[in-house]
A = this chain, B = another copy of it.
């Protein structure tokens, strides 16, 4: 049967997915180009021997608890996972987030957590998600997959809680239901921004006043440029307005494909019983992937057990590396870029955003790869409703400082030539 794309699957005409595919295609065609596009973690930290050691740690832990490792690792398992207790200890110790283990659902990467939570809280056709914009493409992809409308909260000049209230009110005036706000408070992708503490408190007030849940996505929170304490929104969340989304892709490794949600909201079920939102979300998880691979969970669990569930302790050397790499990126920009190019000052994370005096589109990217040997990501990918045409995202996570410097030098040459 020949299928015509338009008729068969609307999601595939997703512009971001198409663009990302094109980005991958360009990367494939120019394998020698230096990639300042890839936000993947540095592989120098990875050793395959870690996998078997983590698995062995976890098997010993099961033994000590009197659990049959054969059943725990190889059979079907609890929908919301089996390392929720270890994650609860991690959140309490590292972040001061005190939640019952039963409020945690372990997912097949954080992307699945986004899909599950979004499906759970935006089930009505008028339910709308607000998102600080520019915005991580994973959440807009999840929303498109589920047919959920995303309304941007413009945050180009920093995130302002008052604009959340305004956008929520405007959505309500238009007859729709703003259900939640998605944001990455700590070292966002793509901007590397970080909310200061008074802004966090004010945002929680606004959420309560505007009857919004907050989806706090935290993949980069460990990787600040300084050691200042920045309480997570979930740690300040006395009213249970925050659903926390966690990832182990950067703090353990992406191949484990383990993420989680924390949903400790009280839900009144059809029978009038009080339960946790996490329990209700498990029904969605069961229809999506049944349960997260216990082998993947065992890898992450075995890692956590090596440092009494402190992800911060386990990541000390990664924190140093990503810090010095981000500083190297900023240094290289200062060294090589012409005066017409400016960039932001991220507070941490894997990315910086560069404003350029030319149109930063796919055509420029192709020229950049072919003639200058450097890849980057157009910022237009990160705006749900347009924007970022004259900006690019650079990643500092995957390369050495020397490679970053050479990549930025090449990019500077492209931009100088293109502007001339």
Considering only residues 114-136 of chain A, those with a C-beta below 8 Å from chain B are 115, 119-121, 123-124
Contact status of A293 and B70, CB under 8 A, knowing A8-B121, A40-B75, A287-B145: no
Residue of B nearest to A13 (CB): B270
State in angstroms the CA–CA spacing of A284 and B21 once bound together: 12
Name the one of B17, B109, B287, B294 contacting A142, with C-beta atoms under 8 angstroms.
B287
Contact status of A5 and B270, CB under 8 A, knowing A119-B145, A254-B76: yes
Contact status of A121 and B69, CB under 8 A, knowing A77-B255, A295-B296: no
State in angstroms the CA–CA spacing of A308 and B108 once bound together: 29
Pair B253/A74 contact, Cβ less than 8 Å: yes
- For A46, the chain B residues whose CB sits under 8 A away are 70-71, 74-75
Pair A268/B2 contact, Cβ less than 8 Å: yes
State in angstroms the CA–CA spacing of A239 and B267 once bound together: 49
State in angstroms the CA–CA spacing of A73 and B49 once bound together: 11
- For A211, the chain B residues whose CB sits under 8 A away are 1
A47 contacts chain B at the CB level, 8 A cutoff: yes
A32 contacts chain B at the CB level, 8 A cutoff: no
Contact with B along A31-56 (1 / 0, CB 8 A): 00000000011010011101110010
Residue of B nearest to A38 (CB): B76
Pair B287/A17 contact, Cβ less than 8 Å: yes
A213 contacts chain B at the CB level, 8 A cutoff: yes
A170 contacts chain B at the CB level, 8 A cutoff: no
- For A41, the chain B residues whose CB sits under 8 A away are 75
Other contacts beyond A11-B284, A112-B288: 13, CB < 8 A: A3-B266, A3-B267, A5-B267, A8-B120, A11-B123, A12-B120, A12-B283, A12-B284, A17-B283, A73-B255, A115-B287, A255-B294, A293-B296
The count of chain A contact residues (Cβ–Cβ below 8 Å) is 90
Residue of B nearest to A12 (CB): B280
- For A48, the chain B residues whose CB sits under 8 A away are 59, 69-70, 73-74
Name the one of B4, B11, B115, B295 contacting A283, with C-beta atoms under 8 angstroms.
B11
Interface of A is mostly: helix
A29 contacts chain B at the CB level, 8 A cutoff: no
When all copies of this chain in the complex are counted, the total is 2
Which residues of A are in contact with B by a Cβ distance under 8 Å? Answer: 1-14, 17-18, 20-21, 40-41, 43, 46-48, 50-52, 55, 59, 69-71, 73-77, 108-109, 111-112, 115, 119-121, 123-124, 138, 141-142, 144-147, 179, 208, 211, 213, 239-241, 249, 253-257, 265-270, 277, 280-281, 283-284, 286-296, 299
Shortest CB-to-CB span from A326 to chain B, Å, is 20
Shortest CB-to-CB span from A71 to chain B, Å, is 6
Contact status of A257 and B51, CB under 8 A, knowing A70-B43, A112-B288: no
Contact status of A120 and B9, CB under 8 A, knowing A108-B108, A287-B145: yes
Name the one of B10, B208, B255, B270 contacting A124, with C-beta atoms under 8 angstroms.
B10
Pair A43/B75 contact, Cβ less than 8 Å: yes
Shortest CB-to-CB span from A311 to chain B, Å, is 17
Name the one of B73, B111, B179, B283 contacting A290, with C-beta atoms under 8 angstroms.
B111
- For A123, the chain B residues whose CB sits under 8 A away are 8-11
- For A287, the chain B residues whose CB sits under 8 A away are 11, 14, 17, 111, 115, 138, 141-142, 144-145
Shortest CB-to-CB span from A205 to chain B, Å, is 13
- For A141, the chain B residues whose CB sits under 8 A away are 286-287
18 intermolecular pairs with C-beta atoms under 8 Å apart:
A3-B267, A4-B268, A11-B119, A11-B284, A12-B269, A17-B287, A21-B283, A47-B70, A51-B73, A108-B257, A111-B287, A115-B287, A115-B288, A119-B145, A138-B290, A255-B295, A257-B296, A295-B296
